[in-house]
Amino acid sequence: MTTPDPAPRRIRRAASAAGPTVLDPTSDVSDAAGIANRFRVFAEQVVSRLPLYRRICEGAADDPEVCARLLLAPPDQRTPNLLLAAVHDVLLAGALEPLGGWYPSIPGKNPSPQARNRPVGRGEDDPWPHFRRMALEDATVEEHLRTRSVQTNEVGRSATLFPGLYQASAAASSASPGALRPLGIVEIGASAGLNLHPGAYGYRYTVSKRSGDDAGTTFTTGQTFTAVGHEARLMLDCELRGPHLPPLPEGALPVASAVGLDLHPIDLTDPVDARWLDACQWPEQPRRRARLLAAIALAQLDPPQVVAGDAVDDLRPLVEAVAAEALPVVVSSWVLTYLPIARQRALMEVMDAIGAERDVAMVLCEQPERIPGLDVPPRPDGQPDGRATALFRLEWRAGRRTAVRLADQHPHGRWLEWLAT
């Protein structure tokens, strides 16, 4: 998705099981002082456990000249992530810069190999002066600030979306029990479309703690459950929490069609676009980056279809194009969170209009408190939402809308607590 970075005026600290810190996207970033505040909050609450990016953001927060550099970007892109990605992309492109020595993502491209992945400190071990020089002087960094947008395409979310899609398929089938209705997936905020083909991945769910379900079945710590797509070449791991197992199909999930919608789609057949998606990843998270690169390589063999357009205004034609025998399923993951409440409600009006004409569903991975325009249900056990990311299924049958809270999850799909029974 094209992701506006969280902004800093109203700050709500995330709980340990919550998603990324979400900051008020309406905060003022019209001057260097407002941008400095964003960097400061980003350092303290978002990348506090990543020494390289924390040090860079601390340096930027105290440097009005670097903060002013972000004023080159459109207002909704004046984010720490944009500047971090712009510099990262230049390094990934092969620039022989001393700064690359601190980046785990830049092996073999440094003028002094012994400096690779050097510790982050002060003095000679301080990456900030090198980052500052690139941020202020590099022409490509300036071009990125003017023209690029932050893009995230977290493929780990496929592991949590998968059981939700399966439930939607099973619930919509009018055939014998256990039969599945083909799905016509339409993903809004699809970015490069890496979550459009659930059959391209395998899914391995591992019980994190011995527990039992309501039927008396005991699950052992470390016990695994797998579901494999018909073309699975990449295994996605997800930790299971709580007493319930997510529903998983015995075979492949039937997908009749899949299309993405994004304001600024990433074309994975363009090496420059693919590299930009990599640059938006944080280099100090090597496993997450390796998973992304593997998913990109798979998608380049069979590029997903992602069209440019608005999540609300351009959605209906894509849903209407889904074949009559298939169930249209609109999918989003950490996209509606960034829509104003009025646009969230406008999206529901579009879906209600579609649902009055044909059965349709939504599978959403979003933060409940950030999507008040959708009227999503609370946890079935009555516990507060906190800062958790939640998985919902909405469906329209005979024009009637219903919604169910399926699970809570890590925002990147690392763990899943299934709630629905």
Domain ranges of the chain: 32-147, 155-418
| Cα 319 from Cα 328, distance rounded (Å) | 6
Give the model's pLDDT for residue 385.
76
Q: What is the pTM of this model?
A: 0.85
Q: Are 71 and 146 in contact (CB under 8 A)?
A: no
pLDDT confidence tier of residue 211, bands split at 50, 70 and 90: low
> Which amino acid type is present at position 240?
L
Give the model's pLDDT for residue 100.
93
**Terminal Cα distance for the chain, rounded:** 31
CA distances, 319 to each of 98, 207, 304, 311, 331 (Å): 49, 36, 17, 12, 11
The sign one gets for the Cα dihedral 40, 46, 51, 52 is negative
Q: How large is the average pLDDT for residues 315-344?
A: 95
Examine the pLDDT at 379 and tell me if it is beyond 90. no
Examine the pLDDT at 257 and tell me if it is beyond 60. yes
Q: Bigger pLDDT: 237 or 19?
A: 237
Give the model's pLDDT for residue 210.
56
Q: How large is the average pLDDT for residues 268-283?
A: 94
Candidate from 14-18, 85-89, 169-173 with smallest mean pLDDT: 14-18
Percent of the chain past pLDDT 90, that is, above it, reads 65
Give the right CATH number for 155-418 from 1.10.3470, 1.25.40, 3.40.50, 3.90.25.
Answer: 3.40.50
Give residue-wise pLDDT tens across range 116-164: 467 888 888 999 999 999 999 999 999 999 999 998 899 999 999 999 9
Q: What is the helix (H) or strand (E) element at residue 43, kind and residue range?
A: none
Give the model's pLDDT for residue 375.
84
Q: How large is the average pLDDT for residues 199-205?
A: 90
Q: Bigger pLDDT: 184 or 8?
A: 184
Candidate from 107-111, 160-164, 243-247 with smallest mean pLDDT: 107-111
Candidate from 39-48, 213-222, 234-243, 396-405 with smallest mean pLDDT: 213-222
Highest average pLDDT, of 35-49, 242-256, 370-384, comes from 35-49
Closest CA to 226 of 146, 163, 278, 298: 163
Give the model's pLDDT for residue 199.
86
> Which amino acid type is present at position 171?
A
